[in-house]
Amino acid sequence: MELELFTLLALFGVALVAGFIDAIAGGGGLLTVPALLATGMPPALVLGTNKLQSSFGSFSATWFYARKGLLEWNIIWPAVICTFIGAALGTLAVQTIDAAILERLLPFLLMAFACYFFFSPRVSDAESSRRLAPMAFALLVGGGVGFYDGFFGPGTGSFFAIGFVALAGFGMARATAHTKLLNFTSNIASLLFFALGGKVVWSVGFCMALGQFIGARFGSKMVLKQGVKLIKPLLVTVSLLMSAKLVWSQYPELFAWLG
């Protein structure tokens, strides 16, 4: 599938902004998926191409955080493995299982997470006590959220972030850094299956990947400079925006009644 130069430049710009937001709070897909759909690309190709470009953003952020010493490899590696396996299984499961129930429940979960991020005293730059051992965390958060990302996807960054804050006791900056690592892991696992199925438009994906890489680098730097002052409001905003978008698509009768 070939697109005009202007369209590719527009997608590059969208990916750059999405990469910046994604590195801080997740939710970049709110911008990139509609942008790809607007080109007339079939939905299956949109999902695969979106995974390709978002993988570069999450890699850029992960690389930056790793160089700054924010990643604790000795405790996070089990979660990386479980996330990869979970995402691979989720990508396989989505081909055979109806996600309709999950689609209708997800907006309310995201609203609850937004309230948690806004009101909880644990959401700060300060560390708190760990509530789960690393292996239990890996299975529950890594495997569970990884499966969800491969199966459905919206809000994955919020799920990982709340896991690191509420269950691992991380401060927001460190939680964001580890979230990007697990995001990158699940993106790669899903991308492998999309690529094997021929569901990736590589030329478009690599064009957007450059924007993602640059945007994510700037976003990561902002996380270290601003910390929870920046991350918290963006997480709440992104969670609420994703929730509103999902309510709009899953409950059209509600808006018809209001109208």
Residue 256 has a pLDDT of 62
**CA distances (Å), 46 to each of 4, 94, 98, 161, 245, in order?**
17, 16, 19, 26, 18
Angstrom distance (rounded) from CA 236 to CA 242: 10
**Share of the chain residues as helix, strand and coil, in percent rounded to the nearest 5:** 80, 0, 20
Residue 98 has a pLDDT of 66
Residue 32 has a pLDDT of 86
Q: Is the CB of residue 228 less than 8 Å from the CB of residue 125?
A: yes
Residue 1 has a pLDDT of 63
DSSP 112-162: HHHHHHHH-TT-SSS-----S-HHHHIIIIIIHHHHHHHHT-TTHHHHHHH
What lies within 8 Å, CB to CB, of 77 at 6+ separation is none
Residue 120 has a pLDDT of 66
Residue 96 has a pLDDT of 74
Report which of 184, 211, 147 is spatially closest to residue 71, judged by C-alpha positions.
184
Dihedral of the CA atoms 189, 193, 195, 196 (nearest 10)? 140
Q: In Å, how far from its chain's centre is CA 23?
A: 9
Angstrom distance (rounded) from CA 50 to CA 36: 8
Total domains in the chain come to: 1
The residue ranges of the chain whose pLDDT is under 70 are 1-2, 95, 97-103, 106, 113, 116-117, 120-126, 228, 252-259
Residue 126 has a pLDDT of 64
pLDDT per residue over 56-68, tens digit each? 999 999 999 999 9
Residue 103 has a pLDDT of 64
What is residue 80's three-state secondary structure?
helix
Domain extent at residue 67 = 5-258
